[in-house]
Each structure stands twice: as C-alpha cells, then as structure tokens.
Chains A and B, each alone.
Chain A
Amino acid sequence: MSSEWPLWEVFIRGQHGLNHRHVGSLHAPDAELAIRHARDVYTRRNEGVSIWVVPSAQITASAPSEKGPLFEPANAKVYRHPTFYDIPDEVGHM
C-alpha cells in the first residue's frame, strides 16, 4: 500500500456576498489539486463561486468536553440582546 494523499477540508462560497461554508473533505497530493478535486466533488451543479481548501491537520478544534466552560457564560448575558430592554411605546421604533 502506497502513501496516502493528505486530507483537505473544503469550504465553498455558494453565492456572491455569502461566507465560505464547510462542505466536506477530500484527499489530494497538494493544494492545487485539492482545489481541482473540490471542483469535481463538491460543485458539479453550480454550488459555488469560490473554493478554499485547508489541510485538515491544520485545523484546531475546540474539545466537546469544553462545551460548558466555552459557551455557557454567554447564556447568562441576556443583556446582550435588544429584547432585554423595555422601550416605552411612545418612543417609537428603536
């Protein structure tokens, strides 16, 4: 068995004005071919106007076990949302 091509994560901008979005991954020997493979694998039906590829090994992910410490503090900060504040009707739309 020969050496396997490295894994790349593929991000595609679906339409002008939108963010690139993760769509999946693929194997390719280098970045240039990763883009070409991504074209064939993920955009056969006009799904995109731009492609990013990133070596999967370069991605750092947050640990599922850290979900609490990372995201729960935001739950308590209701004052970050506009609905926290009562604005009298007389003031009008704000």
Chain B
Amino acid sequence: MYAQMVKSEATNEDPEMLAAFQARIDAGERIEPKDWMPEGYRKTLIRQIGQHAHSEIVGQLPEGNWITRAPTLERKAILLAKVQDEAGHGLYLYCAAETLGVTRDDLTEQLLSGRMKYSSIFNYPTLTWADIGAVGWLVDGAAIMNQVPLQRTSFGPYSRAMIRICKEESFHQRQGYDLIRKMAEGTAEQKAMAQDALNRFWYPSLMMFGPSDKDSVHSTQSMAWRIKINTNDELRQKFVDQTVPQAKFLGLTIPDENLKWNEDKQGWDFSEPDWSEFYEVLKGNGPCNTDRIEARQKAWRDGAWFRDGLMGHAKKAEARRNAGRIAAE
C-alpha cells in the first residue's frame, strides 16, 4: 500500500500500562498525541504515517509529468487539481506524524537520504497519456481500498487525516476512469494505448498491497493496535473483485490468463505479481527510483534560499514590530 511492509517496533513497558492501553483500543477509543502510548506504537506509527506522507508527495511526480502535455485545457485543470490534492494529502499526514514528536525536517531528511520509503508504485514511469487514466483508476483505486478502513484507525490525528483524504480520493479515481474510458471508446490506436497502460499498471497495482502478510508478526501487532485493519490479501482480493467488471465495461483485458471467477469464494482467482520485482523496486532498482529521489532532492535544494528568505523576512518584521511597540511605551 502507500505504506508497505511497515515493521512494528517491539515494546517493553509496564504490562499493566500496556494492558490498559490495549483495552482502550479494543473499546474503540481514539488515542490522542498527549495520551500515554507504548514506544513501539509511537515508532511504528511514525514510520507508517511518514511512509504514507512520502508516497503522497513522491506520487505527484509521475502525474505532474503530464500536466503541461494534457490534451485539453479541461484535462489540464483536472490533473492540476488532482496533483494539488496529493500535495495536500502529504501535508495532512506529515502533520499527523509530527504530533508523535518527529519534526518535518527530520522526515524530509529521511526521505531524501533513502532511510524512509515511499510506495513502490511511484517508481514506475508514466509513458503515455493513457497512463494518467490508469493511475487514477488503478493506483488511486487501490489506495482507497486501504484508506477507507484506516479512517477508523486508533490514532486520532491519523484517523482524521484519513477522513479528509478519503473525501477527496473519489474524485481522483473517477477522473482516471473517465479519462481511460474516453480512450477505450476512441480510435483503435487510442484503445490500444489504454490497453497498454492497463497491461503495465496491473501488476504494480497489485503489488501496492504488499506481499501476503497472513503469517507476519508485524501485521499481527499492527492489527492489534488498529493501525492496520485488513490483511494485504483481503484488500488485494477486494481490489481485484472491484476492478475486473470495470475493465470489462471498458472492453479492456486484464493481463492475466489465470483470471477466473471462483463461485465458492464469490471472488476472482488471479495470478500473484512477481514478488522478486517488488523487492528489487523496494531496494531502489525500479525503473524510476533514482529519478524520483533526485527530483525531490533538487526541489529541496532549490527551494532552500526561498524558505530561508521568507523566514528571515518574518523574523525581521517581528523585530521591527517589537521595536515599534517598545518605542511607543
């Protein structure tokens, strides 16, 4: 997902405090930043929310790539609004992480140095305009699968950020589907572009949910803490079941020969993505890892004089105001 394979941190604290904390979570209470919480809960959340925030920010790059090349002014305005939303999502999430005692600069620094990750999906390129449709339809579609349940997560600021985000995500998915539908219903060449986009984005989208975690201790801990609500396999299955009829409506073919309706489970059987590819992408060897991080590093470097300048101006203006106040007294 936007936060993939988040390792939970071990916790060794007073068992009584831990039990009381777990009871609050089991009762559906929200944990707020100033409440007592296990160190492991705090650290795991910083990692998860931070990774989620970084994904929103880096996720602007593959789409931003097409803003100046959108085919109509309306599509350009839509894409611009969508990418601006993603920046907003990143900001909501950074603020949620900061309530846990990490600074924004620290999070940024960890992204730029590669110590913190972002979702594997954003290391794939957007080669054609149809890819922008596929991203909204599939990538935002997969993100929604994960984000909707997280609105009920136990940590208050995270839950509230998710609620804001979910309100905006539906537009993202719909504009993507609308875009790819226009192409699927267009000329043979346009339809071929739509099919090609689906071919390239299908398996990377399935990878977004992460490898099966039904036996993972980290997932078990995170689920007990309610910072993870469903297993990766559950969400992936839901995503496939939702997407297959949508592809059918478009007249596009999901690139999986083993895709078959399973009457017993009332869901689709499908092929697993190539997990060795997933691990390579996580290691930094995906098609765009280097580009993405370099783009973020450049933006951070190039913006430094501007951030410092505004701060310098603010300090001077405040000093001037204070001097005026003293003179008037």
Contacts and interface: CB of A to CB of B under 8 A. Distances in A.
Interface of A: 1-5, 7, 24-27, 29-30, 33, 40-41, 44-45, 61, 63-64
Interface stretch (B91-99, B147-155, B251-259): B91-99
Contact of B95 (A26, A40, A44, A64): A26
Given A25-B98, A30-B317, A45-B168, 20 more contacts: A1-B105, A1-B109, A2-B304, A2-B308, A3-B311, A4-B104, A5-B311, A7-B98, A24-B92, A24-B95, A25-B95, A26-B91, A26-B95, A27-B104, A41-B88, A44-B84, A44-B88, A63-B34, A64-B32, A64-B34
| Chain A binding surface SS class | loop
Contact of A29 (B109, B164, B310): B310
B34 A61 contact: yes
Interface centre among B88, B91, B98 (most CB of A within 10 A): B91
A2 to B, nearest CB: 5
Given A2-B304, A27-B104, A44-B84, A64 B310 contact: no
Interface in B271-329: 304, 307-308, 310-311, 313-314, 317-318
B35 interface: yes
Contacts of B314: 29-30, 33
16 contacts: A2-B308, A3-B308, A7-B98, A24-B92, A24-B164, A25-B98, A26-B95, A29-B311, A33-B310, A40-B84, A41-B91, A44-B85, A44-B88, A63-B34, A64-B34, A64-B35
A30 B36 CA distance: 32
Contact of A4 (B32, B36, B103): B103
Given A29-B313, A29-B314, A4 B105 contact: yes
Interface centre among B81, B168, B311, B317 (most CB of A within 10 A): B311
Contacts of B81: 44
Nearest to B310: A29
B96 to A, nearest CB: 8
A67 B84 CA distance: 40
Contact of B36 (A1, A26, A64): A64
Contacts of B104: 4, 27
A45 B103 CA distance: 28
A8 B105 CA distance: 16
Interface in B133-161: 160-161
Interface in B33-65: 34-36
Interface string B69-81: 0000000000001
Interface string B87-117: 0100110010010000111000100000000
A45 B313 CA distance: 31
B115 to A, nearest CB: 14
